[in-house]
Structure 1
């Protein structure tokens, strides 16, 4: 079970009992960031991608992976960043060799914000075997682009179904970078977008509000089954 500690909001002085969330390592063991009881929580005033992640070592297999940095919302409206001990920033982590183990069932996280959708996709890509997930250098016209070695993903949190142009734009960008591409949408896809994706072999996934990606075409089924292997 994840450790918990008392956290004081620096804005209103309210005390919270905070328990760190745990995430599934590739070996299947739960991993939770170690909380620093001797440091104070800080307020989140603006967001920088590199500061959203923290590197944590799995106690079971020794692998170091990047996970969302712990945060807590105070009723006063302040977002608190919870201090983590003994973990370098994600941008400076050096992931080690994978522990050979079968992939376990994906453990989703609920989607309430755009950031939650991005985190859910990052966790899913990590489950498939992709490492060093980061913001893509070239962001799409809509949504958020994520990249890792060999893959380019688009997370579309809008309330409109993705269009053929959205899918084709992602495919063209991936072609110029010689990587595969994957599309994740909250609102699904138009029929013509699905047809274009099938023609271009672009995996399409729909994200439900539990954060579970659901494959909706054959390329997505193949990717879900085989990962990066």
Structure 2
């Protein structure tokens, strides 16, 4: 039997969610993020190793766009490991670079006609990790409310919800442009505590967090209702 990417990814995201949430808890409790950083290297290393066999014939194995994503991943994991040593402005600039690279890799993939399902998922999972890491940093430094951990980790929670209560259809209800806009707003909002007044950043982050949860909840509930009426 050949490699089934969909089944692999279903298992990978469930395990990945448990690993990242465990890493978050360890980091929050003892202030050391080294273990979480190593776990990130392992879990993403497994993903990158497994997708080689199903990627089309791209240059440099993964293709230029995916190498930009991998560079972004390495930046984020490094920041996770050393964030206690960096100042707020330094963290702001490095995470901003990671967000800019997020836009560049998609542009390169479309420009070179090298868009792949596996590359898109890699990009999405790096985004999810970055959101959780940013939230962890701010919670540890008492810059944002602890409840933001919920929308920040909802990507992983949602995966487990779908595993326990699967849907016949997983169609997204909100248009892609709206979902992308909400995600980008949440990314940028999580940068604000590094550089602006806490009251302003709190308001924007809370609104963005609510929108993230509504985005996931609307898709699940509407699909659930549709599946019951058929």
* Pair in the same fold by TM > 0.5: no
Specify which structure has the higher proportion of strand.
1
TM value normalised by structure 2: 0.28
TM value normalised by structure 1: 0.28
Higher relative contact order (CA 8 A, sep 6+): 2
